[in-house]
Amino acid sequence: MKRCFLINIFKHIKLKNNFIKVRGFAFTRVSDLRHPDTKGYEINVNNQYYKVNFLWKKGIPFLKNYNINVYWFSIPLDDLLKADIQNKINLSYNREYLGRIIYSAFDLKKGRNRNSKIIRYNHYAIYLRQTIYNTMYLTIREANQYDSLLGKLKINVGFILSKFFLKKDLIILFEKESSRYEESASILYEHLIDQGYKNAYYIINQDNPKLSNIKPKYQKNLIYKDSLKHIIYFFKAYKFIGTESLEHAFQLRIANRKVLKKLNSAKLQYVFLQHGVTYMISLDADLRVRFKKQPYKLHKVVVSSMLEAKHFIEQANFSLSDLYICGMPKFDVAVKNDKADKIVIMPTWRRWEVNLAAQDYQKTKYFQMIKRIVESIPKDLQDKVIVLPHPLMLKPIKKNPQFEKYLPKAEFSYDEILKDCKLLITDYSSISYDAFYRGSNVIFYWEEKEECLKKYGGNAKLMLTSDKAFGDVCYNKEELAKAIRQNYEKGQSQKYMHRYQKIVSFHDNKNTHRLITMLKKDKII
């Protein structure tokens, strides 16, 4: 078989009899394919193969080596509910890769933020989407209010009103899902307000328990998430400063073309504060593509050392001038309580298991790993344990009565928990940098390291190798149990402090001051 591509002219997706069914009208570019065996064609989704049917027609006289076809394939809903959030669809013949599927024949090489209609199933949203390179993906994620007709109408109203809005030079700050108020964006926001920046605004959930503790002078410029004001200010602003990817300034994994066009605008100035030090999973991994330098995203990035800066330069296409080597503002206020005695377990999330966790969390390797870690804690320290799954994994794990006693009660703050942390156990989470900065010991549990790196794809590797790790590295339960006892009873070692300071260089509580100076110099504020 020769290499070929499927190039969509028209496509349709629907849910029927517990199958997601996709039909399309497309060009197929085929080199010297005269008598194809249509039974051998498949689509490959996450290494799962499903038959694809073609209705072959004659070639097109003015397009050499092209056929025009109708095709269709079906994916069992049960399979999809266990799949990754974003799923590339490849064309294969007898398990041999042929090529990607191009979303639209009318967009040539670049995408235009298109997506198919959204299928709602329970709390899921399922749809076909177009990447920036015009590749077709199948998305399955948690539904949000903007998937509905009313939500789309609200966006349209906000978009129109923003055209008549007079305020200019807005600076929008935000943290994870525009809901938190505990990391670098909130620290920077309060400093900006203190310095008289009346054009700085902060997006926050109206039901955030921290709202009542925010001083009145900072409350004046708060914008409640998903309010009409939020939508208007989002469309009007061109300066964004946040701890997460730019999508978090509106709605994570939004499928609205107006919003996506705004997020991809070349006019935007976006400063990425980072929610954690980016020196763990390498930036050349497939699942870290959002961190790479693009013309319309990641205008500037705050980093904590020249070593971290080098990581962005060598693996994410940044130049030195794109990076603010000043340290993260949140470290300026990071402390640990004198009587801290908790053992905090917080592995990083596994995107490829999020949907499976919602179906049956006990089948995920993420859950099984946490279970092994808990079982490794000595009996006399069990009452000190706090299990902190990643927010996207927390909801399903809450259902487990075995873990209930270890999970934080009701609403909680990561900052407050870290204040009481004496020992952190993680795999590859950047929270390890936060904990060590405060004076806590860290243990890295890497039993499934190689398997996880394969899931990240590309050339994924750990930047934090065993000779750079600022804590003990364990590969099995026996090593872990021994390390827990030793690390709980001693302070930080000079060896690990020396390693840590190569990655996090600033320890003078002046990170925010340095950052504001750099922002002024570049006329971002």
Tokens read off for 283? 């930036």
Is the whole model's pTM more than 0.85, yes or no? yes
Q: Output the DSSP codes for 384-397.
A: GEEE---HHHHHHH
List pLDDT tens digits, range 175-217.
999 999 999 999 999 999 999 999 999 999 999 888 989 999 9
Query: What is the pLDDT at residue 33?
Result: 45
Summarize pLDDT for 278-321 with one digit per residue, the tens.
999 999 888 887 777 776 556 899 999 999 999 999 999 899 99
Domain extents for the chain? 4-143, 147-332+510-521, 338-503
Strand, helix or coil at 281?
strand
Residue 511: its pLDDT value, please?
Answer: 98
Do the domains 338-503 and 147-332+510-521 match in fold? Answer: yes
List of the chain residues with pLDDT < 50: 1-2, 32-35
User: Which CATH superfamily, name and number, covers 338-503?
Assistant: CDP-glycerol glycerophosphotransferase, C-terminal domain (3.40.50.12580)
Handedness of CA 242, 178, 344, 443 (dihedral sign): negative
Between the alpha carbon of residue 521 and those of residues 193, 306, 515, 524, the distances in Å are: 18, 20, 10, 8
Fold classified for 147-332+510-521: Rossmann fold (3.40.50)
Q: What is the DSSP code (8-state) at residue 185?
A: H
Count of H helices and E strands in the chain?
A: 16, 23
The mean pLDDT value of the chain amounts to: 90
Instruction: State phi, psi for 329 to the nearest 5 degrees.
Output: -55, -35
